[in-house]
Structure 1
């Protein structure tokens, strides 16, 4: 299937919910479960795994319990701030997509203003915790990730450009670095390698989802790469990012406290993902291929974060 949506046309017909709250903000009838959903708790927990992995490998398994707690809770608040603000801003798009139309804001179960202030509150609380109970550098990185996710990705590029999944990947790569800096208080070689690794993981992961939901995104007028350029172009982009992770796997071996366990595991999974990406050009069912790619990306991330956590206990 090939679809074409011109970015300029898309941008012109997507309203700005920040300026035009409209009737979507008029029904404060939601339950506490609805408030939990706007925090996208699954995404928050997944990011907590990367935060802990970054902190644990930086400390070689020696981080104190209070540092771990404050780093995790502070980062979680900043991430939930981003998800709340994302739900607030995207409520006009979400009502046009089958996958998201029943969410609490587009369906009218929550008052949009309440969600806005919930996001602001999480941002303030998380930043204060990280600044005074962890270190200012980690708090600053959290604000960078929040700005990228809310302003650069959600408010701007998601509505206007196929590059949204690339630049939005910055926010997804920041949490693991925050874990590292929580202990090291330094943007050193290890921090940058972790950032590059997670940054390169983001686009093929989200592009696989975009292929699966291309029709939905097209109806909502969101100019993601599969919608604008088609599946073959998207597959080529995915291959480039997966291939880019392989040399990073070698460089990660030079990061303090990272050993052969990570190197071998990342290369095996990385080459497996690359082979599967190439298989995509021969797949008869692209949607099924994309579904497996998406699942594989989650397995890749989960396994390698677990390996990073185990590295301090493995001496080979």
Structure 2
């Protein structure tokens, strides 16, 4: 083999080497950003004091654990991701990273995040962080997602744990307030993901994932979105009711909740198939992201103002 051929072969090998960006993509950074934000607000509003370095460590551990969960989810679902337009470009189905490397990377991050949380923060937050990872990877990804249309209802608890973990990082325990923050995200998750599944229904159907629109159809999914939204709004006002949020938060939760209900009702009463017009389903989905961000942002801002005054 000539030197030129060796050089060309080496260049092709280097071209296919995974980059830092490929590994970062395994962490589902967009999902991670909302997890970090809700966890930070949980840390902020928790009673008591925490050293800034310990607080930063707690948030970092939660972020790494969330990324590890996303990585292990991609490892387990690589076959499904390859069948869906929305996920086919992810690192494993795209051939950028092999599944074994992704598995090792995810396990290392998961174990490391829990160990550091336990050693540098406290045991309770480490236990809750472990539960969060196991719930997402084992309960949701491996057990529920391919078996039942209620996968997101039960499995969605994994996304609701981060503010509770952060609260425990400050207080060392679980309280009605941290459970309330958990409940808000838990009730928010089904309408959020079912709105997504409405306009991504064909993808889920092709991949054999029994999301609610695939199993029960559009009408049943729209009904469930409406019902969960109606149940979610009173839950979102509980921080004001329990006294760890003020009137401004309560009013904001009521206003945003009313808007969420209105959009869900518009989707529910829409006679046009989502296949023909996905606009209203997308409005519910994108508003739901803004809704959760705004709700926790107001909670955090109000808390900061209260401390200053």
TM-score normalized by structure 1?
0.87
Aligned partner of 2:172 in structure 1 is: 185
Deviation at 1:308, TM superposition (A): 1.4
Deviation at 1:104, TM superposition (A): 1.1
Matching of residue 266 in structure 1 with residue 253 in structure 2: yes
Structure 1 unaligned spans of 5+: 1-26
Matches of 1:48 and 1:281, distance apart in 2? 32
User: Which protein, 1 or 2, shows the higher relative CO under an 8 Å CA cutoff with sep ≥ 6?
Assistant: 1
Cα deviation digits, residues 153-174 of structure 1 (max 9, x gap): 1112111110111111110100
- Judge conservation of contact 2:46–2:167 (CA < 8 Å) in 1: yes
Out of 121, 126, 129, the position equivalent to 1:134 is: 121
Matches of 2:155 and 2:59, distance apart in 1? 22
Aligned partner of 2:45 in structure 1 is: 57
- Judge conservation of contact 2:159–2:185 (CA < 8 Å) in 1: yes
Aligned partner of 1:243 in structure 2 is: 230
Deviation at 1:250, TM superposition (A): 3.3
Matching of residue 231 in structure 1 with residue 222 in structure 2: no
Deviation at 1:270, TM superposition (A): 0.7
Secondary structure in 2 matching 1:161: coil
Deviation at 1:285, TM superposition (A): 5.7
Matches of 1:77 and 1:216, distance apart in 2? 29
Larger radius of gyration: 2
Cα deviation digits, residues 179-203 of structure 1 (max 9, x gap): 1111121111101111111100111
Matches of 2:238 and 2:300, distance apart in 1? 18
Aligned partner of 1:74 in structure 2 is: 61
Deviation at 1:290, TM superposition (A): 0.7
Matches of 2:43 and 2:227, distance apart in 1? 29
Aligned partner of 1:145 in structure 2 is: 132
Runs (4 or more) in structure 1 with deviation over 2 Å come to: 27-30, 254-257, 281-286, 313-316
Deviation at 1:256, TM superposition (A): 4.7
Aligned partner of 2:24 in structure 1 is: 36
Alignment of 1:159-174 (within 5 A): 159-174=146-161
Deviation at 1:85, TM superposition (A): 0.4
Aligned partner of 1:215 in structure 2 is: 202
TM-score normalized by structure 2?
0.89
Deviation at 1:246, TM superposition (A): 2.1
Aligned partner of 2:295 in structure 1 is: 304
Instruction: Give the CA RMSD over aligned residues.
Output: 1.7
